[in-house]
């Protein structure tokens, strides 16, 4: 048994991970449900083929790996993972490690971890971000499981991960579901980032009459400033790409109905479960859902009419204001995502290391950016801060971008341009920084109809109102 690790599932992600492992000098056993795919993969591995051990059965696969055996499963999330675990279980031995590298719901990961507990086997839920390219040349890797199981795989995982200033963008983040939870929040933030970029694009397209190539230039310029990020970079590239068939910008011929596989939605659901608002992520998930209702939107445009309220006018440098507004929106989304992780960390006893999470997101993953380098610095200086916006660095950004965010959202609303995620950021900041809010009225109402009681601000006296007296 010479393989250091095994990979089950040779779809694009699994195949690329296996090549990445081989590329770093480790022997890797591979197995796929259809043997034909395994053969094809091995045949196409070129000079890496000496490191790849193709196997035709699970027995052969398991026998090829050095114990305790780490087995990466990279297949469709959900039932197939349970079936794969069931098939592997009888073949594995004490201390072998099943690693689910797909986008699993962390609650499934927790369950699988528990289910394997008494078998002598252990489980790692591993979030992998970076798409196909990342899997092949360096993803960001978020690991949850026992520390002992991490120690068995850390050499390989660190080696194949992306690097930021030579530091691996991979880390053990805590027990059981910690890695998949963090990956889920990563994706929730990814959704918010993408939605806010799309809202800015909508303002440029529908409010400023800009064409895709012109917008590409704006995003490209932003990619050298505080918004420097993978998503802004690819946005610029997308906008600059033409369609072979029509000669139009490609983006103009793509149907405006966004897909989603679940991770963004889970982020929003879990944030609500934790009672920590993630309104930017929720707005992004909701916007994808509404985008998919293409028929309803067409009918509604007919029935309600599309507001034609004139051009988006902010006076002066609109691009600079949009840039600042996007930055402000990002602050809200990331602050919310990290706050949800802090709450989950307490609830599940993970002790999630916020500075390390920010660090391993600096390279390899989809949300990698200059901004994350700043977040990692802020959390390194103040690891226990209650909310990212309370750090000196980010409170400064919130203040500096405040006028831009407000101006952009107000003008977009005035002109009928939808900005659900950006406007959620304004509302979030405005509620956050108002020490005396309006929930006193809600408490009175609750007490009125349900005798739920309330606290007084002076701590004195009765905690019920006289609502029913005299009725
Ligand atoms: C990543 C991505 C990746 C994938 C998700 C998002 O971090 O590499 O998040 O995991 O793109 O599946 O998917 P949806 O947009 O389809 O939900």
Classify 233 as helix, strand or coil.
helix
| Whether the predicted pLDDT of 471 surpasses 70 | no
pLDDT of amino acid 469:
60
Same fold flag, 184-432 and 436-471: no
pLDDT of amino acid 239:
98
What confidence tens digit (pLDDT) does each residue in 442-470 have?
999 999 999 999 999 998 887 999 997 65
pLDDT of amino acid 308:
86
Cα of 239 from ligand 1 centre, angstroms: 20
pLDDT of amino acid 294:
98
Cα of 190 from ligand 1 centre, angstroms: 8
Best CA proximity match to 180, nearest among 75, 101, 74: 101
**CATH no. of 5-176:** 3.40.50.720
Is 368 annotated to bind ligand?
Answer: no
CATH of 184-432 among 1.10.645.10, 1.10.1040.10, 3.40.50.1100, 3.40.640.10: 1.10.1040.10
**CATH no. of 436-471:** 1.20.5.320
- Residue 365 Cα: closest atom of ligand 1: 7
Look over the chain and give the mean of its residue pLDDT values, rounded to a whole number.
Answer: 97
What confidence tens digit (pLDDT) does each residue in 207-246 have?
999 999 999 999 999 999 999 999 999 999 999 999 999 9
Interval 144-152 mean pLDDT:
97
Is 76 annotated to bind ligand?
Answer: yes
- Residue 288 Cα: closest atom of ligand 1: 15
Cβ atoms of 187 and 195 within 8 Å: the answer is no
DSSP-derived secondary structure for 126-168? EEEESHHHHHHH--EEEEES-HHHHHHHHHHHHHHS-EETTEE
The rounded percent of the chain whose pLDDT value lies above 90 is: 96
Length, in residues, of the chain: 471
What confidence tens digit (pLDDT) does each residue in 422-431 have?
999 999 999 9
Interval 312-334 mean pLDDT:
97
| Whether the predicted pLDDT of 103 surpasses 60 | yes
Cβ atoms of 222 and 234 within 8 Å: the answer is no
Does the predicted TM-score (pTM) go above 0.95? yes
| Residue 282 φ then ψ, to 5° | -60, -45
| Whether the predicted pLDDT of 339 surpasses 70 | yes
Cα of 187 from ligand 1 centre, angstroms: 6
pLDDT of amino acid 288:
98
Cα of 186 from ligand 1 centre, angstroms: 9
* Omega within 30 of 0 (cis) for the link into 283: no
Cα of 332 from ligand 1 centre, angstroms: 21
Catalytic choice (4, 175, 190, 270): 190
Q: What is the residue with the minimal CA distance to atom 12 of ligand 1?
A: 261
Q: What is the residue with the minimal CA distance to atom 14 of ligand 1?
A: 260
pLDDT of amino acid 170:
98
Cα separation, 315 vs 198, whole angstroms: 22
Cβ atoms of 128 and 17 within 8 Å: the answer is yes
Q: DSSP assignment, residue 351?
A: -
Q: DSSP assignment, residue 460?
A: -
Burial-class residue 328 by CB neighbours within 10 Å (0-12, 13-18, 19+).
buried
pLDDT of amino acid 462:
79
pLDDT of amino acid 10:
98
Q: What is the residue with the minimal CA distance to atom 15 of ligand 1?
A: 260
pLDDT of amino acid 146:
97
Is 191 annotated to bind ligand?
Answer: yes
Beta-carbon contacts of 305 under 8 Å, excluding residues fewer than 6 positions away, are: none
| Whether the predicted pLDDT of 361 surpasses 70 | yes
Cβ atoms of 70 and 88 within 8 Å: the answer is no
Q: What is the residue with the minimal CA distance to atom 9 of ligand 1?
A: 187
Provide the token pair at 59.
């027995």
- Residue 264 Cα: closest atom of ligand 1: 17
Q: Which residues line ligand 1 (CB under 6 A)?
A: 103, 129-131, 187, 190, 259-261, 263-264, 365-366
Report CA 93 to chain centroid distance, whole Å. 34
Is 434 annotated to bind ligand?
Answer: no
| Residue 423 φ then ψ, to 5° | -70, -30
| Whether the predicted pLDDT of 172 surpasses 80 | yes
Cα separation, 425 vs 138, whole angstroms: 32
pLDDT of amino acid 461:
80
Annotated catalytic residue 190:
yes
Cβ atoms of 94 and 100 within 8 Å: the answer is no
Cα of 404 from ligand 1 centre, angstroms: 30
Best CA proximity match to 123, nearest among 102, 140, 109, 104: 109
| Whether the predicted pLDDT of 351 surpasses 90 | yes
pLDDT of amino acid 468:
73
Is 31 annotated to bind ligand?
Answer: no
What confidence tens digit (pLDDT) does each residue in 190-204 have?
999 999 999 999 999
The domain segmentation of the chain, as residue ranges, is: 5-176, 184-432, 436-471
Burial-class residue 406 by CB neighbours within 10 Å (0-12, 13-18, 19+).
middle
Interval 287-301 mean pLDDT:
98
Is 354 annotated to bind ligand?
Answer: no
Beta-carbon contacts of 303 under 8 Å, excluding residues fewer than 6 positions away, are: none
What is the pLDDT confidence band of residue 379, given thresholds at 50, 70 and 90? very high
Provide the token pair at 379.
């959390």
Cα separation, 379 vs 420, whole angstroms: 28
Is 75 annotated to bind ligand?
Answer: yes
Annotated catalytic residue 183:
yes
- Residue 103 Cα: closest atom of ligand 1: 10
**What's the CA angle centered on 134, arms 132 and 135, to 5 degrees?**
65
Cα of 458 from ligand 1 centre, angstroms: 50
The rounded percent of the chain whose pLDDT value lies above 70 is: 99
Residue showing tokens 């905690």: 463
Instruction: Select from 104, 139, 190 the residue to mutate for testing ligand 1; criterion: most ligand atoms less than 8 Å from CB.
Output: 190
Instruction: Select from 14, 192, 261 the residue to mutate for testing ligand 1; criterion: most ligand atoms less than 8 Å from CB.
Output: 261
- Residue 261 Cα: closest atom of ligand 1: 17
Catalytic choice (51, 183, 330, 359): 183
Interval 239-264 mean pLDDT:
97
Cα separation, 49 vs 19, whole angstroms: 9
């Amino acid at each position: 048994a010479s393989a250091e690790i095994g990979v089950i599932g040779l779809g694009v992600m699994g195949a690329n991970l296996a090549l990445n492992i081989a590329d770093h000098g480790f022997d890797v056993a591979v197995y796929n449900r259809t043997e034909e795919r395994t053969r094809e993969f091995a045949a196409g591995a070129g000079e890496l083929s000496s490191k790849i051990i193709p196997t035709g059965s699970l027995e052969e696969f398991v026998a090829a790996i050095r114990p305790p055996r780490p087995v990466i499963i990279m297949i469709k999330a959900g039932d197939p993972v349970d079936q794969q675990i069931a098939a592997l279980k009888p073949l594995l031995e004490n201390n072998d490690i099943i690693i689910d590298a797909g986008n699993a719901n962390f609650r499934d990961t927790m369950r699988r971890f528990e289910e394997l507990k008494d078998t002598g086997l252990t489980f790692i839920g591993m979030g992998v971000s970076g798409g196909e390219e990342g899997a092949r040349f360096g993803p960001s890797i978020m690991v949850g499981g026992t520390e002992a199981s991490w120690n068995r795989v850390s050499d390989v995982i660190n080696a194949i991960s992306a690097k930021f200033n030579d530091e691996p963008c991979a880390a053990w983040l805590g027990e059981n579901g910690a890695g998949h939870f963090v990956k889920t929040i990563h994706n929730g933030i990814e959704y918010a980032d993408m939605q806010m970029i799309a809202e800015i694009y909508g303002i440029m397209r529908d409010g400023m009459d800009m064409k895709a190539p012109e917008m590409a230039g704006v995003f490209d310029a932003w990619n050298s400033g505080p918004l420097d990020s993978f998503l802004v970079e690819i946005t610029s590239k997308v906008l600059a790409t033409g369609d072979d068939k029509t000669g139009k910008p490609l983006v103009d011929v793509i149907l405006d109905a966004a897909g989603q596989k679940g991770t963004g939605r889970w982020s929003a659901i879990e944030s609500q479960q934790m009672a920590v608002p993630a309104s930017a992520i929720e707005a992004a998930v909701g916007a994808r859902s509404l985008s998919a209702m293409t028929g309803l939107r067409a009918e509604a445009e007919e029935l309600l009419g599309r507001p034609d309220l004139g051009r988006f006018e902010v006076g002066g440098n609109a691009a600079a204001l949009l840039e600042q507004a996007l930055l402000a929106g990002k602050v809200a989304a990331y602050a919310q995502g990290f706050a949800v992780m802090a709450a989950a960390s307490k609830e599940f006893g993970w002790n999630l290391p916020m500075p390390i999470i920010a660090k391993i997101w600096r390279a390899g993953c989809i949300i990698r950016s200059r901004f994350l380098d700043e977040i990692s610095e802020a959390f390194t200086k103040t690891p226990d801060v209650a909310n990212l916006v309370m750090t000196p660095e980010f409170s400064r950004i919130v203040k500096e971008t405040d006028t831009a965010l407000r101006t952009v959202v107000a003008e977009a609303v005035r002109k009928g341009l939808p900005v659900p995620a950006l406007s959620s950021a304004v509302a979030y900041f405005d509620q956050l920084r108002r020490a005396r809010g309006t929930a006193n009225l809600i408490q009175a109402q609750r007490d009125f109809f349900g005798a739920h009681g309330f606290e007084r601000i002076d701590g004195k006296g009765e905690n019920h109102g006289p609502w029913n007296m005299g009725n």
